[in-house]
Amino acid sequence: MIRLGKALNHSLHYAQGFHPTGTCGTMGAAVAAAKVMGLSEEKMLNALGIAGSQASGSMEFLADGAWTKRMHPGWAAHNGIIAALLAKEGYTGPSSIIEGRSGFLHAYSPKSEIGEVLANWGRPFKIIKTSIKPHSCCRYMQAPIDGILKIMSEYSLTPEAIEKVTLGILKTAFPIVVEPKKLKYSPRSVVDAQFSMPFGAAVAIIFGKAGLDEFIQKNVESKKVKEFMYKVECVENPELDKVFPEKWPATVEIKTKNGNTYSTRIEYPKGDPENPLSWDELIKKFNVLTGAIYPEKRRKEILSMIKGLEDKPFVNFYRLLQKNTNS
């Protein structure tokens, strides 16, 4: 999944209107499912070929805050499993699904780089370089929010003391979390808010965090949040783009009403491999996300199995997740 995303040239993939979670995710899920099922190399390749006809995910949800983004991770996993199950039963898919004339790389990007698929294989495996977001919003908003929370904490600032917030944002992020300004400064739904840098900055400053409890409709409609958003200015910073995508940096400058100015630059957002979440932070995130689905006993069982996943059959973990959620 990760290597395909790099090979597609993800900025151009986004520009084409595709969401990598849905497109690349389907391909990755197919291989993972095939591996778990113990399929042969031939059948695994068929699973990948079948997945290529299911890979989808449109970014058009950004236009009006539609809920379709919520489908993309789960539906990608679903499609990947279906692809593997079909391949297991002898169904075939095109073996050239990745590199073919009408294959994944050519169909989903105007300028893909096939060499990225296998470049430096296993040095390290790309899964080790993935990030886990601590804030409940777009990936491009993580570093700016980290910088805001850092300044607010270090200098004991209050929302009332702030006059202006200037955020240095990656160029690739602008059409996703900064523009069009009319929408980003006036989000209508929770999805809109999760892709609005002004909103994310405002709730981080007002509430001291930017989790699920902050990205709610009540705050979208809050007069206080709306007014604070207009204190936030987002600017392009070419210096940031020089290190992207190896880094996803941001700059933050906060000016107070008494004339003081505080600034910082975040090189690696919290949750990046270079700045990882602690095990306790991961458990907290897991409990927040699954608390409404699994009772405490089940969550503890899942956490215990995850800790020892390398020493236990994966099928046992899969069955645990399938158990009745009320037990």
In a domain, 303, yes or no: yes
- Residue 177 carries which DSSP code? I
Q: Grade residue 316 by pLDDT with cuts at 50, 70 and 90.
A: low
User: Which alpha helices (H) appear in the chain, and where do they start and end?
Assistant: 2-8, 10-15, 20-36, 41-51, 61-64, 71-88, 104-108, 142-154, 181-184, 190-194, 197-207, 217-220, 223-229, 238-241, 279-290, 296-307, 314-322
What is residue 232's three-state secondary structure? strand
* 310 and 202 co-located in one domain: no
CB of 192 closer than 8 Å to CB of 217: no
Q: What would the mean pLDDT of 84-111 be, rounded to a whole number?
A: 96
* 146 and 217 co-located in one domain: yes
Q: Grade residue 327 by pLDDT with cuts at 50, 70 and 90.
A: low
Last residue of a domain, one of 102, 129, 156: 129
* 110 and 203 co-located in one domain: no
Task: Read off the pLDDT of residues 166-207 as tens digits, 9 standing for 90 and up.
Answer: 999 999 999 999 999 999 999 999 999 999 999 999 999 999
Q: Grade residue 314 by pLDDT with cuts at 50, 70 and 90.
A: low
In a domain, 47, yes or no: yes
In a domain, 97, yes or no: yes
Task: Read off the pLDDT of residues 50-64 as tens digits, 9 standing for 90 and up.
Answer: 999 999 999 999 888
pLDDT of residue 125: 87
Q: Grade residue 10 by pLDDT with cuts at 50, 70 and 90.
A: confident
**Is the pLDDT confidence value at 128 over 90?**
no
In a domain, 231, yes or no: yes
* 77 and 167 co-located in one domain: no
CATH number at residue 17: 1.10.4100.10
Last residue of a domain, one of 103, 129, 155: 129
* 123 and 152 co-located in one domain: no
In a domain, 327, yes or no: no
In a domain, 103, yes or no: yes
* 66 and 97 co-located in one domain: yes
Last residue of a domain, one of 129, 151, 174: 129
In a domain, 125, yes or no: yes
Range of the domain at 71: 2-129
* 100 and 149 co-located in one domain: no
Q: Grade residue 322 by pLDDT with cuts at 50, 70 and 90.
A: low
**Is the pLDDT confidence value at 36 over 90?**
no
More confident residue, 298 or 220: 220
pLDDT of residue 65: 85
* 60 and 103 co-located in one domain: yes
* 119 and 144 co-located in one domain: no
Whole-number mean pLDDT of the chain? 93
CATH number at residue 149: 3.30.1330.120
Whose tokens are 């965090």? That residue is 209
Angstrom distance (rounded) from CA 171 to CA 166: 15
Q: Grade residue 42 by pLDDT with cuts at 50, 70 and 90.
A: very high
Count CA atoms within 13 Å of residue 96 on its CB side: 7
Q: Grade residue 312 by pLDDT with cuts at 50, 70 and 90.
A: low
Q: In the chain, how many domains are there?
A: 3
* 151 and 262 co-located in one domain: yes
* 98 and 174 co-located in one domain: no
* 54 and 159 co-located in one domain: no
pLDDT of residue 254: 98
pLDDT of residue 212: 94
In a domain, 272, yes or no: no
